Amino acid sequence: MDLVSEIINKVGSASHDEGREDRRAECMQILRELLNDSDDIMAAMITTADGHPWAEVLPHGFDAKRFAAMSSALIALSSTLAREAQKGKTMNVLIEGMEGNIYVMHAGSMVLTIFTKIKPNLGLTLAHARRVADQIVLRARQAADAVGHTA
């Protein structure tokens, strides 16, 4: 079982609902800061590796559950493709669309998906996204340590 799924299972009980919501609120704050820090990023979401939405800042009309499932499937498929082609671990999946881009990346055992404007500054946008992915990993480790100390 991966680290974040283990944390979610441990903190999912009624006695730990407040801690889970605190972590979700932290993730929401991280995403809001990401959108504030980058003019090119229009929306973002964090999902579990198995395709469930965890935190999102999405435009009206975006279905978080659908995008979570698609992001999870896309990163899993890309990981299989890279492994089969002996290219190592997938770092990012970049989709370049006519109306903007979508970047999907591992954030530990979570998945970070960002939606950009047309022709963003690719390097800067990916740097912002990687920083957020690293923050997500750090928060998950801190939560695991906290759960481990109280268990």
| CATH number, residue 129 | 3.30.450.30
143-148 contact pairs (CB < 8 A, 24+): 143/7, 143/11, 143/19, 143/23, 144/3, 144/6, 144/7, 146/19, 147/7, 147/10, 147/11
CB atoms closer than 10 angstroms to residue 149:
7
What's phi and psi for 62, nearest 5 deg? Answer: -80, 130
CA dihedral over 5, 138, 107, 99, signed as positive or negative: positive
d(CA 50, CA 52): 6
Of 137, 92, 91, which Cα lies nearest the Cα of 114? 92
Least confident of 3-12, 51-60, 66-75, 126-135: 3-12
Q: Which domain holds residue 69?
A: 3-150
Q: For 77-118, how does the pLDDT look when each residue is reduced to its tens digit (9 = 90+)? A: 999 999 999 999 888 899 999 999 999 999 988 999 999 999
Residue 65 in this model has a pLDDT that exceeds 90: yes
d(CA 94, CA 97): 10
Q: What digits encode the pLDDT tens for the residues 51-63?
A: 999 999 999 999 9
Domain count, the chain: 1
Q: Are 4 and 138 in contact (CB under 8 A)?
A: no
CA distance 25 to 10: 18
- pTM (two decimals): 0.81
Rounded Cα distance between 113 and 96, Å, is 13
- On whether the CB atoms of residues 141 and 3 are closer than 8 A, the answer is yes
Strand order in the sheet with 92-97: 53-57, 41-48, 110-116, 100-107, 92-97
